[in-house]
Every structure is written in structure tokens, then in C-alpha cells.
Amino acid sequence: MKKNQSRPKISEIREFHTNSNGIFFKIKKFLFSGKTPFQKIEIFENENFGRVLFLDDLVQTTEKDEFFYHEMLVHPALLSHPEPKKILIIGGGDGGALKEVLRYPVEQVWLVEIDAQVIEASKEFFPWLDSALQDKRAKLVIGDGHDFIRETGEKFDVILIDSSDPVGPSTVLHQKSFYESIKKCLKPKGVVAAQAGALLYHLEQHKAKYSFLKRIFKISRFYTGPVPTYPGGIWCYVFLSDEIDPLADIKKNPPSGLKHYNLEIHRAAFALPNFLKEKLS
């Protein structure tokens, strides 16, 4: 797919969280607009949030607040695992999760993204991706994450599922069969961390997902973290393992240079609000 040279002549872009509310961004400059076989991609500049990536009319990342999401997806899993060496990221074509994983002395990181144009556009407009892909430990695979899991012969210490919402090409990444396949690719002390959706708006989805996750993994814990530009402002994640409890005493320190995550944040993130605990139970 090539850049759309007739970029939209609009002054703002909106994401609806329900039929009656959402978030809007005033557009300072449109940078990229196009449609792939999988989704619509839009990248623009906003005066407050910097460069913003939209996929199918949903915010994926912004320069200003990406660290909230990517640090909370990556570091609880990488810090909890005693020696993470081989890492798999499914989704995450903007490169934020890859950037965070490469802070660790890992040996190899696979980034599996279904849409090559997300990679190409992000390399151009989000510089952290291009620099991360130049790291000799990074291996880029353009393909379906579900197919990769079923076909690979590799075993991983940590698998990170950085999918978009359960619509379009990411639908399969939220289903029971996918997590059953994921488990077969884990080493004995393996850990999975996955984004799970909005705390406020996706309660029924959390209940449905937890009902099958707790049957697949011996340890299945939801945790939360702020993401200002995501629906509701607080996002949910799941931590999955058969052997590693994220609330056990962590014997190492997070990498330097983080903006949000620390060990106090780690412990607090697994303290769930009453309404979510009731829904999961």
C-alpha cells in the first residue's frame, strides 16, 4: 500500500467509546492515510500528544502517553521471570513493546505483525521502531500471529500479546483456542502478558476471558494501568503462567529510564477494584 496523497482535509478526528461519548484530537498535520487489506491506517500530529496512530478509527499509540501502555504490558512479565532470554511479541507493529523488551539482556525477540504497512508507516513516523529493528536481537516476522504460534517450533520464556481490540484481524487473538496454542509454545517457567481492554467498558469480555484462562493456566491474574488516551483511561492486562506468580518477591530491579513502571506500581497494579473482582468471581 502506498501513501494516500489526497489526505483527509479535516480539522479533527474522533474515537467513539460508546454511542454517546469518546475522545477527539485536533489535527495539526496529517502525516499518513491509507487502507491495507487488513485495516485503515491514519497517522497525524496533535499539538498536545504529538504523533498519533489510529487503526480502524481507534487510538493505538501516541508519542506523549505510549509509555504507560507499553511499560505495563512488558515489565510485569519480564521482571517476574527469573531469566527471560527468548521473547515473542504478537502484534505491536508500532514497536513500543519491542523497544521496552530490548532494555533487558535478552537473546532474541520475535515481533510478529500481520500488517506490513503498519510496520513501514511506524518506522517512518515513530523513530523508536526503526532503531529497535536494527538491534541484532530483533527478528521481524510479517504474518498472522495465530499461524505463527501453530507452526513455530520455538519455545519462549515470555510471550507478549500486543493486539488491538477483538475486531478485524485481531479477533482470533482473544479466543480460547489461541491461548491454548500459546501455552504449547512456552518454556516450563514461561509467562504470558496480554492486553485485555478497558476496565470500564469491557467487563463482560473480562469475565468471559477469565472463565477460560483460569482453566488453561494455573496462575491467571488481571492487572491494570493508566493509559490517558484509551477508553476510560484505565486499561486491563492479564498475567498468565503455570509456575510464576507476579506477586512473589521480585529479586531484581527494573531497567533504568522508565517513566511509569516501578516495583511499587507493579504490586499496586494487581490490586483490583471491587467491581472487577466481583465480575471475575
Quote the Cα angle for 258-86-103, to 5°.
20
- Do 43 and 154 lie in one domain? The reply is no
Cα dihedral across residues 143, 181, 238, 241: positive or negative: negative
Of 37, 62, 87, the one marking the end of a domain is 62
- Do 58 and 133 lie in one domain? The reply is no
pLDDT tens for each residue of 43-85: 999 999 999 999 999 999 999 999 999 999 999 999 999 999 9
pTM: 0.93
- Do 130 and 256 lie in one domain? The reply is yes
- At 161 the pLDDT is 96
> Quick check: is 75 in a domain?
yes
- Do 48 and 76 lie in one domain? The reply is no
- Do 256 and 210 lie in one domain? The reply is yes
pLDDT tens for each residue of 77-126: 999 999 999 999 999 999 999 999 999 999 999 999 999 999 999 999 99
CATH number assigned to the domain comprising residue 167:
3.40.50.150
Of 20, 44, 62, the one marking the end of a domain is 62
- At 3 the pLDDT is 52
Summarize the confidence of residues 233-247 as an average pLDDT.
97
Domain that holds residue 237: 66-280
Of 20, 40, 62, the one marking the end of a domain is 62
Cβ-contact 173, 161 below 8 angstroms: yes
> Quick check: is 179 in a domain?
yes
Residue 207 pLDDT grade (very low, low, confident, very high; cuts 50, 70, 90): very high
> Quick check: is 5 in a domain?
no
The total number of residues written for the chain in this structure: 281
Q: How many domains does the chain have?
A: 2
- Do 82 and 178 lie in one domain? The reply is yes
Residue 33 pLDDT > 80:
yes
Summarize the confidence of residues 200-218 as an average pLDDT.
94
Residue 166 pLDDT > 90:
no
Strand-strand pairing, 50-55 and 40-46: antiparallel
Residue 19, C-alpha cell as written in the block: 454511542
- Do 32 and 100 lie in one domain? The reply is no
DSSP states of 204-256: HHHHHHHHHHHHH-SEEEEEEEE-TTSTTSEEEEEEEESS--TTSPP-SPPPT
Which of 41-50, 112-121, 157-166, 171-180 is predicted with the least confidence, judged by mean pLDDT?
171-180
- At 263 the pLDDT is 97
Which candidate, 79, 114, 121, 124, places its Cα nearest to that of 100? 79
> Quick check: is 6 in a domain?
no
Extract the runs of DSSP E, i.e. beta strands, from the chain: 12-16, 22-26, 29-35, 40-46, 50-55, 58-62, 86-91, 108-113, 138-142, 156-162, 186-198, 219-226, 234-241
Summarize the confidence of residues 202-231 as an average pLDDT.
96
- Do 175 and 43 lie in one domain? The reply is no
| Residues near 234 by beta carbon (within 8 Å), at least 6 away in sequence | 198, 199, 200, 224, 225, 226, 227
Catalytic residue among 56, 162, 165, 249: 162
- Do 148 and 53 lie in one domain? The reply is no
Residue 154 pLDDT > 50:
yes
- At 6 the pLDDT is 46
Residue 2 pLDDT grade (very low, low, confident, very high; cuts 50, 70, 90): very low
- Do 55 and 93 lie in one domain? The reply is no
Cβ-contact 179, 213 below 8 angstroms: yes
Residue 5 pLDDT > 90:
no
Summarize the confidence of residues 241-254 as an average pLDDT.
94
Report the C-alpha gap between 266 and 79 in whole angstroms: 9
- Do 22 and 106 lie in one domain? The reply is no
> Quick check: is 56 in a domain?
yes
- At 269 the pLDDT is 98
Summarize the confidence of residues 142-165 as an average pLDDT.
92
Question: Could you tell me which residues are beta bridge partners of residue 90?
Answer: 112, 161
| Residues near 43 by beta carbon (within 8 Å), at least 6 away in sequence | 30, 31, 32, 33, 51, 52, 53, 54, 121, 125
Active site annotation includes 162: yes
> Quick check: is 112 in a domain?
yes
